[in-house]
Structure 1
Amino acid sequence: MQAILKKWAAGEHEVAVKELVQYLQEQPDDIEAYVTLATFLTTLKDFEQAEVLLQKALTQFPKENALIYALGTLYYQAEAYQQAAPLFMQLVQDSQAIDAQYMLAQTYHQLEQNSRALVFALTVQEQQPDQLDVNLLVGDILTSLGDFDQAQTYLKNALTIDPRNGEVLFKYGLTQLVLGATSDIYFEQAKQYAPDYFQKNKQQLIDIEGFMQAQAHKE
């Protein structure tokens, strides 16, 4: 397995996949190998083959949480969120696995079921208060719910963890803009540290500024 992983890391993706398929034919009970191969295929966006592999493995090992989690992650990556959600929920109900709760929060967020997403995201954040991605996710969900005041709290946490993260700087800046606080400095830093992200999301900033100007004229 280590030799296969080294080939994958070296960019020999096709060779690594073929050798791992051969390995599984010789070692059909190696759960980790199924998960690894599914991860390889998912990374290569061969979602159909990854699904076939994991479904087949689950017929042999129907209660193996690692396979269930891998299948849920596959569906999430393939944007099949309706299929991903019940798999992560099954893991949460079985074991309260923190990774499953995080993925479930992400999945509900993608499905725009943000009130449900928030419950799981906050549960994870309480257990991992110093994790950048968790604080960012809570901030995103609260922003989607229109609760910019609470969103800024978690985005500020994320900013403390990684003060040069362009995505966090941009999103924290948006909350400050909406709340009428100083925001330009955060957008300038976002442009500096993550110029591609800033350009991709600049329209969101323009839209919010336009909306706020329109509201000001009404008043």
Structure 2
Amino acid sequence: MHRILLIDDDAQLGSPLATYFQRFELELVHALKPSDGLALLGTGGFDAAILDVMLPEMDGFELCRTIRKQGDLPIVMLTARGEVMDRVVGLELGADDYLPKPFEPRELVARLQTVLRRRRGPGQGAAVGSLEFDGLTIDAARRSVLRQGVAVELTGTEFDLLHLLAREPGKVFSRDDILNQLRGHEAELYTRAVDIVVSRLRKKLEPLDCIKTLRNAGYSLALRRAAP
């Protein structure tokens, strides 16, 4: 059973949500304050975290930044309805997904299941194996990336985006194509999410110039296959 940490100062939210999560073999642990949540994360054993933006002690953005410095734990942010900038900032800081409040519990479970599938690794045969490029190695089985021989730590979303582009180098993927394939359901209108993840990925892969932008078209991998 996957263990999920919810950090939200709404004391009435945790218990009913935990009961609902049990239907999907998810164990929910609720922390009301960021300090309590970070202490729980320090004990280990969690598979993902859900962070509210409005929190005491520090806001959800600072909390996301703190957690992301410690590793690649999947993070889903809960944002105010209509606050696009909340979503932008959360994704820029390394969140894997976002969900506006108020939300339907089933939608939250669906988002969690998606990020957990990314963490477990690819479920299709085409995704297994190692892809070698000039200066870049992508190991799908281990979900690891080497940039010029140095390991690069990517979030699940970043890895899946890179692996998607790398399976067909040179092919242009539109933003909607990427959203559909990474999220596993119809793309939302908020396609800037793809631009943000690409920006994060580019920074982590520097000095390699891996991802090419085609204006009004999308993105492609701009690396040559390594010589056999």
Shorter-chain TM-score above 0.5: no
TM-score bucket (shorter structure): under 0.3
Computing the radius of gyration over CA atoms, which structure comes out larger, 1 or 2? Answer: 1
Bigger relative contact order (CA 8 A; separation at least 6):
2
Which one has the bigger helix percentage? 1
Which one has the bigger strand percentage? 2
How does the TM-score come out when normalised to structure 1?
0.28
